[in-house]
């Protein structure tokens, strides 16, 4: 039997990168997957097609997780399509590295609204759809939450906040059979890191040189751990921060 057979999962920010990989791995393990995307409909549809072409079940739902109305619609569409929810992956996020002198109220609030508020809004709605068997929440954080890098003060702060939410809610959910954990990726090759010019840069070379496993991560490296946390293989794990960074951000 597949590890996520007949489970229903929402993956936010799943049109590409880590989110897309998680969605595909979930579907391969039997989950029915809701692909949330903010603007990349073409990419989201490609993820859905990849899943359905391989015999899986998936739908795409547009929505900016920082907007209440969009989050409500995301969960309404999930309920209409599948009736309930078992797994929520808060993967939608943005990052902006800039010197402290350049941080503006706009860039500050945009990062916190998507990375932190968006996750809270999604968690609130997920609680309404989790059934009698409880539920499972996975927050995609970052190794930068434990090891902030220069010019990344605001981004790192958002991920530290997300980890604090994970730990606090694991205690708040006591007795409700709801598990919640954070995954802290290291340097991962995605469309975003390529577009930003990081992949192939001197900065990447330096970080890989200090990574014990000696390479940049791939989205599949994160997705496999997400499957583990979403499945019964991790039934006694909650409130944890799990670093998946090739050893770069060992706790």
Catalytic positions are 155
Question: How many Cα neighbours within 13 Å face the side chain of 65?
Answer: 31
DSSP assigned state of 8: E
Output the CA angle 88-94-100, nearest 5 degrees.
140
Closest listed residue to residue 83, CA positions, set 72, 75, 94, 91? 75
Distance of CA 115 to the CA centre of its chain: 10
Which residue has 């499945």 as its token pair?
A: 231
**Using CB atoms within 10 A of its CB, is residue 237 exposed (0-12), middle (13-18) or buried (19+)?**
middle
Among 213, 142, 211, 147, CA closest to 183 = 142
């Amino acid at each position: 039997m597949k590890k996520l057979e007949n489970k229903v999962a929402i993956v936010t920010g799943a049109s590409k990168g880590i989110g897309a990989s998680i969605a595909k791995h979930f579907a391969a393990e039997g989950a029915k997957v809701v692909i949330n995307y903010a603007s990349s409909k073409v990419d989201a549809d490609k993820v859905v097609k990849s899943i359905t072409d391989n015999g899986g079940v998936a739908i795409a739902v547009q929505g900016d997780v920082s907007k209440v109305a969009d989050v409500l619609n995301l969960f309404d569409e999930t309920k209409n399509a599948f009736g309930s929810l078992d797994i929520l992956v808060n993967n939608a996020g943005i990052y902006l590295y800039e010197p402290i002198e350049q941080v503006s109220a706009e860039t500050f609030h945009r990062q916190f609204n998507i990375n932190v508020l968006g996750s809270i809004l999604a968690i609130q709605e997920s609680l309404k759809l989790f059934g009698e068997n409880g539920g499972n929440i996975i927050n995609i954080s970052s190794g930068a939450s434990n090891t902030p890098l220069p010019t990344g003060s605001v981004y790192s702060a958002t991920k530290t906040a997300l980890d604090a939410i994970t730990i606090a809610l694991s205690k708040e959910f006591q007795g409700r059979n709801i598990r919640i954990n954070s995954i802290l990726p290291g340097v991962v090759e995605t469309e975003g890191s390529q577009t930003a010019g990081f992949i192939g840069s001197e900065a990447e070379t330096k970080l890989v040189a200090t990574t014990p496993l000696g390479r940049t991560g791939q989205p599949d490296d994160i997705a496999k751990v997400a499957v583990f946390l979403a499945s019964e293989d991790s039934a006694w794990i909650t409130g944890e921060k799990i670093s998946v960074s090739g050893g770069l951000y060992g706790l």
